Structure 1
Amino acid sequence: MHVLILGGTTEARRLAGLLHGTPGLELTSSLAGRVASPRLPPGEVRVGGFGGTEGLTAWLRERAVDALIDATHPFAATISFHAARAAATAHVPLLALRRPGWVPVEGDRWHEAGSLEHAARLLPALGRRVFLTTGRMGLPAFAALDELWFLVRSVDAPEPPHPSHGEILLDRGPFTLDGERELLRRHRIDVVVTKDSGGAATAPKLTAAREARLPVVVVRRPPVPEGVPEVGEPEQAARWVAERLATAPRA
């Protein structure tokens, strides 16, 4: 039984670790290739795009994939739609592994935004020194805000256009609460911007902002394909695979 994991996320790596070495299971993890030095999961790994829905459909057929798991980032909406269409065309069972989104608690001062551009429009009224944690691909949306200062955190160095006033911090989670508190204090941050990525790896910044009573602009997740079965934990996805493996025909 051949399983393809569309990954790159912490959950995808955890799932690959749970499945790797299972008798009767061939496992392939696919990474988009947007990070220069990604953390690789165990097992076979391919890097790069498939060439849209048609390319992914052809790959599923050529490699005789028996099950497809979409464990991509919550903001990687395009590949999720490609996966849904390709799985339907190739008649391959599809499961979405999506980490739950963050939920505000008492003391949070969240301002929801429907897009990065919307978040940029909100900023001038909320603060002057911004902790921007939306990833390097979305920085052009904030490039014109010359009156603000930005601490931009990114795994890899961003290319222009990006905010011209501020500092680039190259770092990769998980992050600690003490570390996030110190960042906010040292850089005199008065507003935080984040995507609703969910998960624990980058959540401490929300706690640190709440403690400091800072406003946080939270970019809502994009829509995902309808009708795709969904789980929130790698262990649930591993059980889904195990159920199919148990009923797979034997050679």
Structure 2
Amino acid sequence: MRILILAGTSEARDLSQILATRSDLQVTASLVGATRAPRDLGVETRMGGFGGADGLAQYLRDTKIDMLIDATHPFAATMTNTAAKVCADLGLRHVILQRDEWIAGAGDDWHMIDAPSDTPALIARGKTVFLATGRQTLAQYECLSGRKLLARVIDPPKKPFPFDGGAFVQGRPPFSIDDEIALFQLLGVDWLVVKNSGGAASRSKLDAARALKMPVAMLRRPKLPVATRVSTVDECMTWINT
């Protein structure tokens, strides 16, 4: 059986490494190449996009893929919608592996938003804002003019911050809660802006915000297409073996 994993998350990596031990499977993982030095997935890995729906469909036909597992980031809506449509059109077995979202608890001061354009109404001018939303969407926060913006990136930036009033903060996860508290205090952060990505590995920034009584602007996830969804690697393995 030939399996294509649309990767880019820790779940994709864990799943790939498990499937790599199966001699009855031919597994390929696909990465878009957003990180310059991605971690080894343990299986054959291709880099780059497919060129839209037609390109993905052609790739699936050419490589005779039997099953597609979409384990991309919860905010990779374009890829997720494209994969769902292509698999439905081809009659290809398909599942979305997407971790559960975060839910606010006691002591959290979360403000749910639908888009970056909602942030100026929340965050007063003159505040220092820590953007933990990824490099690709950074330009969408130009609406926060008059605030000091700090954006975390994994790789050293090749270009300067895309607009005035901002700076990059480089770091590679995981980050402990104590690390995040110390960083936020050092930088004088007033607001945290995050996507509701879910997962334990990246939750430390939210725990740090709670400890510091810092408000959080939380981007809601895009809606999923109509498709089978599992939330853990174990559930995905059960689905594969069914």
Query: TM (normalized to structure 1)?
Result: 0.91
Determine if the alignment matches structure 1 residue 17 to structure 2 residue 12.
no
Retained in 1: the 8 A contact 2:16–2:43?
yes
Match of 1:133 in 2: 132
Retained in 1: the 8 A contact 2:194–2:217?
yes
Partner Cα separation in structure 2 for residue 164 and residue 158 of structure 1 = 17
Output the aligned Cα RMSD: 1.6
- Describe the superposition over 1:76-109 as per-residue Cα deviations: whole angstroms up to 9, x where unpaired: 0000111011111221100110011000001111
> Residue type of the partner of 1:57?
A
CA spacing shift, 1:163–1:215, aligned 2, 3 Å: farther
Return the offset for 1:239: 2.2
Return the offset for 1:242: 2.4
SS at match of 1:123: coil
Retained in 2: the 8 A contact 1:120–1:141?
no
For 1:131-170, list aligned pairs within 5 A: 131-156=130-155, 157=157, 159=159, 162-170=162-170
SS at match of 1:75: coil
Unaligned runs of 5+ in 1: 244-251
Determine if the alignment matches structure 1 residue 242 to structure 2 residue 241.
yes
Partner Cα separation in structure 2 for residue 141 and residue 48 of structure 1 = 23
SS at match of 1:184: helix
Return the offset for 1:124: 2.1
Q: How many residue pairs were aligned?
A: 241
> Residue type of the partner of 2:150?
L
Query: TM (normalized to structure 2)?
Result: 0.94
> Residue type of the partner of 2:218?
V
Match of 2:231 in 1: 232
Return the offset for 1:178: 0.7
SS at match of 1:27: strand
Match of 2:216 in 1: 216
- Describe the superposition over 1:158-195 as per-residue Cα deviations: whole angstroms up to 9, x where unpaired: 74663422431111222111100101111111111101
Retained in 1: the 8 A contact 2:119–2:144?
no
Partner Cα separation in structure 2 for residue 209 and residue 105 of structure 1 = 12
* Identical-pair percentage: 39
Partner Cα separation in structure 2 for residue 148 and residue 189 of structure 1 = 11
> Residue type of the partner of 1:106?
A
Match of 2:201 in 1: 201
Retained in 2: the 8 A contact 1:155–1:170?
yes
SS at match of 2:17: helix
Return the offset for 1:55: 1.0
SS at match of 1:214: coil
Return the offset for 1:37: 1.6
Retained in 1: the 8 A contact 2:15–2:233?
yes
Partner Cα separation in structure 2 for residue 158 and residue 136 of structure 1 = 12
> Residue type of the partner of 2:168?
I
Partner Cα separation in structure 1 for residue 163 and residue 120 of structure 2 = 11
CA spacing shift, 1:89–1:76, aligned 2, 3 Å: same
Partner Cα separation in structure 1 for residue 78 and residue 90 of structure 2 = 18
Partner Cα separation in structure 1 for residue 162 and residue 104 of structure 2 = 29
Retained in 2: the 8 A contact 1:98–1:231?
yes
> Residue type of the partner of 2:195?
K
SS at match of 1:143: helix
Partner Cα separation in structure 2 for residue 206 and residue 113 of structure 1 = 16
SS at match of 2:123: helix
Determine if the alignment matches structure 1 residue 102 to structure 2 residue 102.
yes
